[in-house]
Every structure is written in C-alpha cells, then in structure tokens.
Chains A and B, each alone.
Chain A
Amino acid sequence: MMARLKSWEGLLLATLLVIFTFNAWATPEFLTVGNQINLFQLSIEKIIMALVMTFVIINAEIDLSIGSMMGLAACAFGWMFIQGVPPGLCIVICLAIGLLGGALNGWLITSIGLPSLVVTLGTLIGFRGLARVMVEDRGINDFPDWFDALGQQGLLGPVPFALIAFVVLFVVLYIVLERSSFGRLTYVIGSNKDVAEYAGINTGRHKMVIFMASGLIAAFAGLLFAARVGAVRGDVGNGFELDVITIVLLGGVSIFGGKGTLVGTLLAILIVLNLRNGMGLLDITGHLQTGVIGILLIASVIIPRIRLGRRAEAA
C-alpha cells in the first residue's frame, strides 16, 4: 500500500476512494445507477476531450481551442440542419470541420513555428466567432428525434451512446498511447523533441496528427452536446478548455511534456466528477466547485514537487 501511494496514480486512487466513500455515506441516492450514469453524462464532452488533451500535453503542447471548436461544430450542425442538409451529412461535415480546424492549429504551430499557447488562444477566439456567425443569437433546436434520443436515452440498457463512446475511445487511446509507436513517440517528442529529430523522426507530422485528432474529438464532443441538450447556442463549450486541462494536469500529466498516463487522466476524471457530484448533492454551487478544482490544479503541480524534494533529502 505504501509503495502504491508513492506514485501519483496511487495518491489519486486513494483520494478517489475517500471522496467516493464519503459521497456514498453522505447521500443515499449517490450509489444508484441513475446517479452514476448522470454523473458521467453531465460532463461527458469534457471527459472525452480530456483523453485527447492527455496526448497534446504529453507532447509538450497545449490546445486552448477545443471549447470553441466544440461550439463551432455544434453551431455548424445546427446551421446546416436548418438549411435542410440531411443530419447524417451534417455530422460528417462537422467532423471534417474539426479535422480542418485542428490542421490549421497544427500548421501554424509546426510550419510557422508559433507557440501552441498563442495559436490556440487565437483560434479559441476565432472558432468561437465563427460559431456565433452561424447561429448569431438564436438557439437552434427541433433536431430529429433519433438524434436527440442518441444523446439523451440509454443505448445499452441505461447506458447512453456518449458513455459508450467514451469507454471505447478510452480503450483505443489507451492502447495507442501505451502500446503503439505513435504513443511512444508522443512521449519521446514531448520529453525531448531534438532527440526525436536526431533519431530521424518527423516530429512536425506527429504534432500535426495530434492537433487534428484534438480538433476532431472536440467537434465530436460538440455533436454529443447538441444531441444531449437537444439545442445549440453560440456559447456551447465556452470555457470547457480550462476544465479539460485541469483534469489532465490533475491526472499527473506534466505541463512540460513527456510524462503522464491515461490511467492518471481517468482517475482525475473520476475524482472531479465525484467531487462535483458530491458537492452538488451537498448543495454546493457550481462556481464554488470550480474554485475547489482550481485549488486542486495548483496542488497537483506543487505536491509532487514537495514529495520529490523529500525523496531527494532521503537519498
């Protein structure tokens, strides 16, 4: 047990168990299947995007534009839908927009050589703007029933489509990160880009793929949001990037790249969801929850350093 606690994941797991036990003890309805599914469902877009953000940050980059890309895809869907484009085609085009937006980020970062922080800050504003151009200040709803149902009802028993998508995506990305050469290179490039280049690796292409994947998944999340809520507005996904980055960093991914795991991200997701759910059940407001998570974010950077310092002293 002590050995386990020494790793960041161990600490996260212990934290999770404490929160989970407390929630179960404090509120009887916490352990019901409905509440458990609801807990995921309420933040499903963020936790899906956190999976790809894990790759982005391990690669020593950042993508601040995902919330806006979500909004852009959702609004593009709504706009095309009211123009009479068949919903199936709308979905395909929206995903293509995600790829394209990601490629734009990737191009500016790898070819022009701008820092991802600045590029995605720019596209954060730019993509949001395009989203607003499409829907202006309207809300668009009245999507086809099957679309709304996909977002709102259980697909496998009580489990909705989005949650299944999350699980599938987690498994696929886990294998990619842990076992494939792409995952391996994600770490190496994030840890030391020059070493990768001296080993003959095309680091620009690698980063391009990651940013395109980030755009694609953000667009997918936008569609999930449209289906779940049954309506889109210009502010869909506004500010989501911060929650997503917080989750990933809390999960032990280093902001300097090269370090972190998807298991860590998953544990952080569960902690944040349970914490929010628990606080919600205790009537703590959403804004205050965000504040608690802000504290967690800073703690997640400082605590490992303190522990490392202590270990260095011991050695």
Chain B
Amino acid sequence: MRIALYVTCLIDLMRPSAGFAALRLLELTGADVHVPEGQTCCGQPAWSAGNRPLAINLAKKAVAELEAYDAVVIPSGSCADHLRHRYPELLKDDHAWSARAASVAARCHELSDFLVNVLPLPEVPGTFDGSVTYHDSCKGLRQLGIKTQPRALLARVQGLSLREMPDCEACCGFGGAFSVRFDAISTRIVDDKCDTILATGADAIVGGDLGCLLNIEGRLRRRGDTETRVLHFAEVLAGGSGS
C-alpha cells in the first residue's frame, strides 16, 4: 500500500516531532510511506474565512498531489475533515475536478483512525511513565467520529494510564482564526479547559490536533504551569525524542 503522509502546515512549522512520530508509526504498519514534497496547507484557513475561490485553488493543488496514493493519512482531525468532507463539496460543480476530489477524499484518513481501522498498528514502540488525559478535538470527534481510536492506541502504551476528564469533548476555544479574531473569548474558553485538565492531575494532556494543543499549551504556560506536558498522541505512541 502506497501511503501519503499529509503532515499539515501547523505540524510542519510548529511541531515537526509530531510529523516524524506519525511517519514512524505508519512505517511500522509495513506500508510504503511517502511525504509528498509539494504539500503546503490544505486550505482550511481560506475556507474558514469564507474565501471560497482561494479554498478551491488550494483544494485542487492538494488533490493533484495526493491522487497517486492508495491512502492519505493526516495527523489532524480538523485537516482530515477538510479533505474528506470539504474538498468534494468545494469541487462538486467542477466537472474536471469533482470525481478526482471525491476519490481522494474517500482515501483520506485521520491518523488514529487509520492505525485502528485501516492498517492496524502492529506494535507500539512508545512508553510513558505516568498518566495522561485526552482532549477530543471538535472536528475529529463530531465530523469524523474519532473517539475510541486514539484511546485504544494509547491503552497499548506501556506504563501509560488514562485519566479521563469531565467535558473532554468540550471545545478548547481554538477555532483557527477565531483564536486571534476573538482572542479574549478564546482565552476565556481555554481557561475552562485548562482547569479540567489540571483537575485530573494527569502528567500530560494528549490530543490529535496541533491547533488545540498549541492553544492549550500556550495557556497552561501563561498560567505558570510548566509541568504538564502537552503532546500529540503520535508522539506518545512513537516514543523517542518526541515524548
């Protein structure tokens, strides 16, 4: 199986370790994993701002880059939702592109879902000495049904115990441009999230979307918490320098 790892722009720039962790996990499945060189951003920020022409432009670019692969794996529920659900919608009226977009979309998978339901991860190299709590990011949870997959994978990490928090499904307040457009509201929302995280006493908060993780980590640090680790689940699963 020829797989494309779609790194996402946030991981590429802000947290390459999560990208390398995803790469390692995918290689463990025995698949032939590639990182398409031309990838930049899926275009969700343009879509979210309401700029349809720009979102369409970037959707076509990604479709062309990804259609040669049997599967596209994305370590982000938010970006995976954009490729899976928005690309076909954005390109549905374009005869040259609609079938191509639908075909690529159907082959796009969020990382944890892929490692549980498509090509099961044979072994989990990472170990973790302590407890983690898991934040369900909105798009992954509500648009893609990502809930049990990351937990099932984390349960296989030696030494790790999961301490669920109440309201683990509540939004962290990131919301892409929302976090800067309405920074004060965003901060107020993520404060609630930080409170529930800290109340679990977990050593780390783990999630599957870097946007949410940057928001949560940024607020925890600003509040003076330098202890709680903030990790992408891929980093925990892959072990090594990331976790």
The answer on A and B forming one complex is no
